[in-house]
Amino acid sequence: MRIRNDGNATLPPFGICTQTGVSTLFSEKYYNVAELDIPAESGRGHQYPVINDSASLEVGSRGKGVSVLDRPRLWVAYDEADGNPLFGQMWGVDGGFKLRKDKPGFEIIGGAKNGRVFCQFIKDQSLYVQLQEDLDEADPDLQSGKQTATARVWKPDGSGDLETGSASQRIEVEIDNRWVDVSLGDEKNLWIKWSWYYLEWVPITGECP
């Protein structure tokens, strides 16, 4: 797809962005893109990510990109400050142009080199989590704020144990209190799903045993 950088910063090679509109220039269609930003407050999110081509794209410039829905397995830039992505790990969006560790959206396949890695876009990313006692005591009714939950990303072969933590990755995620009703100090186990509409984790089932 043809894209034009309508953001405020240069889009790096294989960088993550999001579509913001469509323009017609010289009888050709261009999809306007900008940095995929995770809002501080929950609300309607962006569309699914678009990945830039192998060349940097200056502000206002036109180039090529690919939608993750059209090509779910592809090369994506990652933040080298988070180390090297490993096979089976979950990396994903957290604002910015590059994949970050312990964030939702992509499963690592391999080939990490020169700040890019081959990975699989996960449209329906789900995790089994245990809510922790990390709540605001000033807000016992849990009408606002977020809760912390511990999750484990299973090994690629499906093995792993929630109690022993023998999984490829152990992470912490945040769940907005409006999604789950839990008393202060209680612990609950839930299946949660990353919502590309809200750009946050939401429960997909009731309480689990």
For the chain, the domains span 2-121, 126-203
CB 5 within 8 A of CB 58: yes
For 66-110, the pLDDT digits (tens) are 999 899 999 999 999 999 999 888 898 887 899 998 888 899 999
What's the pLDDT score for residue 162?
A: 42
Q: How many angstroms separate the Cα of 50 from the Cα of each of 86, 144, 206?
A: 22, 32, 33
Residue 115 has pLDDT above 70, yes or no: yes
Question: Which two tokens mark 115?
Answer: 């700040």
147 versus 158: which is more confidently predicted? 147
What's the pLDDT score for residue 208?
A: 42
Question: Which two tokens mark 131?
Answer: 């809510």
What's the pLDDT score for residue 38?
A: 55
Q: Is 137 exposed, middle or buried (0-12, 13-18, 19+ CB in 10 A)?
A: exposed
3-state secondary structure of 24: strand
52 versus 195: which is more confidently predicted? 52
41 versus 38: which is more confidently predicted? 38
pLDDT classification of 41: cutoffs 50, 70, 90: very low
What's the pLDDT score for residue 33?
A: 81
